[in-house]
Amino acid sequence: PATKQRVAVLGASGYTGAELVRILLQHPFVEIAALTANSQAGQPFSAVFPQFATQKSLPDLITMDDVDYDDVDVVFACLPHAKTQETVKELPENVKVIDLSADFRLADVDTYEEWYGKPHVAVELQKEAVYGLTEVARGDIAEARLVANPGCYPTASQLPLIPLLKEGLIKADDIIIDAKSGTTGAGRAPKQGTLFCEVTDGIHAYGVASHRHAPEIEQGLNRALEAAGAPPTAVVNFTPHLMPMSRGILETIYVKTEDGVDAAKLKETLKAVYDDEYFVTVLDDGTVPQTRHVRGSNHCIINVFDDRLPGRCIIVSVIDNLVKGASGQAVQNMNLVCGFPEEMGISMAPVFP
Residues annotated as part of the active site: 152
Strands 300-306, 236-242: parallel, antiparallel or unpaired by DSSP? unpaired
End-to-end CA distance of the chain: 37
SS3 of 147-166: the string is EECCCHHHHHHHHHHHHHHH
Q: How far is CA 258 from CA 64, 133, 174, 302, in A?
A: 52, 26, 11, 20
Q: Angle at CA 84, nearest 5°, toward 33 and 249?
A: 90
Distance separating alpha carbons of residues 264 and 313, to the nearest angstrom = 10
Query: b vs e for 150-169, b when ≥16 Cβ sit within 10 Å of the residue's Cβ?
Result: bbbbbbbbbbbbbbbbbbeb
Q: What amino acid occupies position 133?
A: L
For 346, which DSSP code?
-
CA 161 to mean position of chain CA atoms? 16
* Concatenated DSSP letters of 250-283: EEEEEEEEPTT--HHHHHHHHHHHHTT-SSEEE-
Q: What amino acid occupies position 196?
A: F
* Concatenated DSSP letters of 176-243: EEEEEE-GGGG-SS--GGGSHHHHTT--EE-STTT-THHHHHHHHHHHHHHHTT------EEEEEEE-
Strands of the sheet with 96-99, listed across from one edge: 61-62, 30-36, 5-10, 74-77, 96-99, 146-148, 130-131
